[in-house]
Amino acid sequence: MEQSEPSDADLLKSYAAGDLAAFDLLFNRHRTGLYTWLRHTLGSAQDADDIFQETWIRVIRHAHRYVDIGFKAWLWKIARSRVIDFRRARREMASLDADCSTEETGELTLKDSLAAETPSPAQSAVDGETGELIARSLTSLTPNQKEVFLLRTQSGLPFKEIATLLEIPLGTALGLMRDATNKLKRVLQKEINE
C-alpha cells in the first residue's frame, strides 16, 4: 500500500509541534522554486540569499500561527513582503543618481554601477547566449508583468493565488500574464531574427 506524501500544512503543523524532520521536508519541497524566484526578482545572488533566509526565519517564527490557506501562497507572500521592504529600504538609503565614481571606474552613478556589477537574472539560470537573450527579454516587461510572469513560472502558483497575493483581480493577473507572454514572444522573435 502506497503512503501519500504529507501536505505542506501537515508538515508545518508537525514542525510547530516540534518535529524538525517535518521542516526539512517542507524546506526541501519549496527551496528551489523560492530561491529561483527571488534570484530573478532581485537580480542579485547576495540579495536573494538574504531575503531567502529572512523568509524562512519568518516561517519558523510564525509556524504556530499558520492557518491552512495554502502554504505555498503564504510562503510567497512572506517573501514578496520581504522583497518590498528590502527595495523600500534600498530606495531610502541611496539615490540611483548618486555619484559613486572612483579612479578606476571613472564617473559612474549608483545606477550605472549596479547595472555593471549585477548579472542579469536569467543569465545566472541559463548559460551563454540563450541566457543573455532571455535576460534582455525579461527587461522588456513592465514590473507588474514581470512579477506575475515570475510568480507563475518560478513558483508554479495558480493564478487565483497570484491574484490574492498581489491583491489584484483574477482577470488582471491573467491579463498581465497574457501580455507578458505576448511581449516576450515578440521580443524573442525579433532577437532571433536579427
DSSP states of 112-144 as a string?
HHHHHHSPPHHHHHS-HHHHHHHHHHHTTS-HH
- Same topology between domain 1-91 and domain 120-194: no
Cα separation, 35 vs 39, in Å, equals 6
Q: Answer whether 0.75 is exceeded by the pTM.
A: no
Given a cut of 50, whether residue 100 has pLDDT beyond it is no
Given a cut of 60, whether residue 44 has pLDDT beyond it is yes
Q: ∠ CA(145), CA(190), CA(128), 5° rounding? A: 80
Fold of 120-194: Arc Repressor Mutant, subunit A (1.10.10)
Percent of the chain at pLDDT exceeding 70: 78
- CATH architecture, range 1-91: Orthogonal Bundle (1.10)
pLDDT computed for residue 177 by the predictor: 93
Residues with Cβ within 8 Å of residue 109, at least 6 apart in sequence: 96, 97, 98, 99, 100
Beta-bridge mates of residue 102: 106
Given a cut of 70, whether residue 102 has pLDDT beyond it is no
pLDDT computed for residue 145 by the predictor: 92
- Name the least confident of 4-13, 34-43, 60-69, 101-110: 101-110
Element (H, E) at 54: helix 45-62
Domain-by-domain residue ranges, the chain? 1-91, 120-194
